[in-house]
A and B are shown apart, each in its own frame.
Chain A
Amino acid sequence: MSRRVLAEGVSAVPNGSYDVPTWQLAAGVLTGAVDDAGLDLDDVDGLYLPKPRPWTEQGFFSTSLANRLGLHLDRNVETYTGGTSGGSAFRLAARDVASGTLDVAVVFAAERNSTVETDDYLAYVLETFDHDIQAPAGPTVPGIYAQSLQRYRHEYDVPREAIADIAVKNHGNGASNPEGLFSSGTTVTDVLDSRPIARPLRLYECPAPCDGAAAVVLASEAAASAATVEVAGTGYDHPPSQYLGTREGALTEHPAFAGAADEALGAAGLAVADVDAFELYAPFPHTEAILTEELGLFERGRGALAAADGATAVDGPTPISPSGGPLGRGHPAMVTPILNHVEAVRQLRGTAANQVANADVVLTSAEHGHVDGVNTTVFRGGIDA
């Protein structure tokens, strides 16, 4: 049994700093998305979320929240696989609606990174590297992306300014997104003059951690009243890889993205050329270029020039992250995948802050970068439920 899955309601808070409990942020977007869907809390059958990270005040997060809100659940799923978590939660929710397991699922995430000290965060991330033979080297995540940037420029002779142009494009989009963390954009000069974080990566080329929360309600046609957006396909892929690229491929490749996008587009009966906008989990500028190359939108090494050419602008032929993405919008990492999904629904409703004209199909991703796992979702608008 496979039923149509509709994206019926969305809600998000602006990225920033919040001095309220994380559960309260979560409850706000959960009820907001249910309201937006024209449903009641009584209608909610399932909760799907990334497992909150260790600095979250409340353990057993989803059960505690469900009790607080009086939700009687048929399914309750917390996932944790780094940056793919929100995408995995979403994919499992869509599957359960499609299979008839339940009619109304809420996919959400809430995170307060303002409460974690940088040292504690870096110590936490260090333990995601191989305990025995990688962590004692003292790596950081930007330190890995710095190496893939270095390789990308080395292999394809990419001008340094072209990488900064991608950050400029995303910061510009983020500045005109009222839910973004920053109120102004930046310039290539300012990007390249910002302080180095992990050479050659500069501060404005790194995503800013912040607090955030977002939710999407998925519903069957039986439960949906006025939805115009459907989840047309989902995909996942994960070749063996742990921070240093796959054994067969270069550090400048993300083969999981190609695999996951093929699966989602195939399920939707669509091709890459049918996609009108992309909301990608691309926390560093060259990652965005590599992801577009994996989709075949640009030749290897040419994706970096697309931002300078305007090809990936909101009004360009291949809009990438009209919302600003994690670079331009701010990056509550567990929330970013859900924000991407919220933005996709808004594009297809015609209500996005940076609206792409006549958008009918949007592709989103949730990935954990050089660990090389990716979730993708294809949304289609214009649905008459």
Chain B
Amino acid sequence: MREDVIAAPFFEALADDAFAVQRCGACDRAFLPPAPVCPHCHAADVDWERTDARGRLYAFTELLRTPPNFDEPAVVGTVVVEGVRVLAPIDAPYDALSIGDPVALVPTDGAGDHDRGRWADAPFFTAEPRPDAE
């Protein structure tokens, strides 16, 4: 059985301390989750692109009840990077955050002890508050 896993470059990037999205060669828009075609225009000309891993906080919450084997409470939010909404654990107290805050998506171990299947040994990522670069 020989088949490339479409999502593999995403996790290879994290292993290299980078955050990747897919971008469409036809309409130039970025997207996730990993797909064989562009979800905007359905062109097959899509490729992986490593970003600067910088994004903005779109929304966030503090979970007082989390799934089993995840720390409780936990801050989780939605980060917009290259125009793509990404769900991420956030390494900051809820009360210290505001919508629009600049963050960086950095590789970490998974947020909880959760069966990630084929990616069990790959890094995941966390959003960290990070002031904008000068």
Contact = CB atoms under 8 A, between A and B. Distances in A.
Interface of A: 118-120, 122-123, 125-126, 129-140, 142-143, 146-148, 150-151, 154, 195-201, 240, 242-245, 247, 251
Contact of B39 (A139, A140, A146, A247): A247
A122 B65 CA distance: 9
Interface string B58-79: 1111111111101000101110
Given A138-B114, A198-B64, A133 B10 contact: yes
A199 B65 contact: no
B94 interface: yes
Contacts of A126: 67, 114
24 contacts: A118-B65, A119-B67, A122-B67, A132-B10, A132-B119, A133-B10, A136-B114, A136-B124, A137-B89, A138-B70, A138-B89, A138-B111, A140-B63, A140-B65, A147-B58, A147-B78, A150-B59, A196-B62, A196-B64, A199-B61, A199-B94, A242-B33, A244-B87, A245-B85
A125 B68 CA distance: 11
Centre residue among A126, A200, A243 by max chain B CB count within 10 A: A126
A267 to B, nearest CB: 29
Interface in B93-127: 94, 99, 110-112, 114, 116-117, 119, 124
Given A132-B7, A136-B111, A251-B59, A147 B77 contact: yes
Given A123-B67, A126-B67, A154-B59, 18 more contacts: A120-B68, A122-B68, A133-B7, A133-B86, A136-B110, A136-B116, A137-B76, A137-B89, A138-B70, A138-B76, A140-B63, A143-B63, A146-B61, A148-B59, A196-B62, A197-B64, A199-B61, A245-B85
B40 interface: yes
B34 A132 contact: yes
A256 B76 CA distance: 26
Contacts of A138: 63, 66-67, 70, 74, 76, 89, 111-112, 114
What band does the interface of chain B fall in when counting residues whose beta carbon is under 8 Å from A?
35 or more
A244 B85 contact: yes
Contacts of B99: 150-151, 154
Contacts of A197: 64-65
A177 B64 CA distance: 31
Interface of B: 7, 10, 31-34, 39-40, 58-68, 70, 74, 76-78, 85-89, 94, 99, 110-112, 114, 116-117, 119, 124
**Secondary structure at chain A's binding surface: helix, strand, loop or mixed?**
mixed
A-B pairs, top 3 by smallest CB distance, nearest first, are: A147-B59, A146-B61, A138-B70
Nearest to B86: A133
B90 to A, nearest CB: 9
A247 B31 contact: yes
Given A138-B89, A244-B78, A199 B62 contact: yes
A146 B66 CA distance: 14
Nearest to B6: A132
A18 B112 CA distance: 34
A139 B67 CA distance: 7
A134 B87 contact: yes
A184 to B, nearest CB: 24
B74 A240 contact: no
A137 B111 CA distance: 6
A199 B99 CA distance: 14
Given A147-B60, A151-B58, A199-B94, A140 B66 contact: yes
Contacts of A196: 62, 64
B39 A240 contact: yes
A119 B67 CA distance: 6
A131 B65 contact: no
A126 B88 CA distance: 14
